[in-house]
Structure 1
Amino acid sequence: DEVEMVSLVWKVVVFGILAAGSQGSLPQPRLHRQVSTGRYDLSADLASVEAQSEKATRTNCKNRPIDLVFIMDSSRSVRPVEFKKAKEFLQDMVDSLVIGRDATRVGLVNYASTVKIEFLLNTFFDKSSVKQALGQVEPLASGTMTGMAIRTAMEKAFTKEAGARSASMNIAKVAIIVTDGRPQDKVEEVSATARASGIEIYAVGVDRADMASLKLMASQPHDDHVFYVETYGVIEKLTSKFRETLCGKDDDNGSADIDDNGLGLNDRKDDNKRVSEGNNGMSDRSYSIHL
């Protein structure tokens, strides 16, 4: 009996040890859940940092001061929702720049069959006022007198009286034309005169825009000055390209790289360009965006 009792005790002890070991190897779901809920999510923080960096890039452009005039097509072919997209595109560009009396000044020429100067280079000297004024612009409808608009910008918007600074200050004069159609007047001669006067012209074509006309208007090289998008719905994608051109990149001293025309550059590379086929039957190496 004593032997049986000892044997039984040992069986109980061994069974207890095995049971304890088995339980120790089982998963502990409550503990696992506690660890999971307290896990540090590095990816979320990285996304937040990237978003803040992108916002800082958009709003803290260290561009050299320029006199910038937008020349905006508001002819009948530009539908209201498209005109709104065009205005938002210009507002986004303004958002990228340092606006001020001693910084970049912005003016706007609105055109269709007639031409209207919405505001001059010396009308507003702060970013919010420029963006608000852009948002309030109404389309003029009817035709597309692009040549007349360029002449008006040259003779009335880029003048000392309108707020353009003197040549001795070495401040670049830049015109950005946004159009969706073929000009109904001649643009070659007036554009050449404007460029000869020191105005650097960028031509942005949308949808039905005529590539040959864009190239007649724009400064050389066309690879850097002629842009095309298939719809106003994707025109905002050009904002980053203009940010590279107008803002430049920071060097070790925190200043922007400046080219001979006074515009900041950001490593313009040929691989950023691609051939645009089927645009009014033409082929061009200018920057283009397709759906």
Structure 2
Amino acid sequence: MAVKNETRVTHFILLGLSSNPDLQMVFFVMFLSMYLLTIAGNLLIMITIYMDHQLHTPMYFFLSNLSFIDLSFATVTVPRALHLFLMKIRTISFTDCMTQLFFLHVIGGAECFHLILMAFDRYVAICKPLRYTTIMSRRICLLLILSTWAGGLFHAFPQSLPIILLPFCGPNEIDHFLCDGPALSLLACSNTFISQTADMANSGLLAIFGFSLLVISYVYIISTILKINSAEGRWKAFSTCASHLLVVSFFFVPIGFVYLKPSASFAADKPLAVFYSLVTPFLNPIIYTMRNERARKAMKKLGGRTISIFNTHIN
């Protein structure tokens, strides 16, 4: 142990998703395609909401911020994974690894709180419609958005600091395509009880608490929707809520499995990480635009204006 204590790991080796070269190329194409579509889809939502004044409402303001969070989440993880698949350079410095770990939890925590915020917005809109404009004023909406990012920071520090402060003296191979707490804890050369407890108490319980709060909110929302006399009104409210519930499930269920499972079981970590870091940010714009007629019309309108401007410049 004396020799080990004198040697501190300065870099890690990411083993990726597979050691098979053919599979590495398949993963590269898959990740790159989905990442580019994620960028395009989320940017389209953000630009459409910004350009169309009819969409300057709290619901779309929150949707625009969710797109920014999803774009950030994918950007923290995917470019490093692409570099790993294509260049086969598996090393990552200690600083870069811990930076990725920290921002992974900042953005992940912000998304967790933001999804709860979006459920609260739907609760007020459906259950307290007469007070909606008063409760969800522009100033309150901005403060709520800032609070989700503050919550992400508050979540990230106790989640990542116990990992950062662990002594790493070898081995330095991370059986993952990103730097995450459970995989890093396996490499520490000291007792990891504190870091593992922080993982479970922070991310795991946050996932359970957030998901439970969302379920309770939607019990009230659905019970209110069922009292709506108009069939069209019920369908419109159900459609909006169904999109949000689908997004919530895609985010919270994989996170819950990763951080609440037994510490000895890591086989599913990598597929689940692919899901919440790449698939979910890719699917969110599709889910919201496919089920939202107002957003689709705004996008078509924006597309028509862009084509018209382009033709005018050419002529």
| Alignment TM class, shorter chain as reference | under 0.3
Output the TM-score relative to the length of structure 1.
0.26
**Bigger Rg over Cα:** 1
More helix by share: 2
Q: Relative CO higher for 1 or 2, CA cutoff 8 Å, sep ≥ 6?
A: 2
More strand by share: 1
Output the TM-score relative to the length of structure 2.
0.25
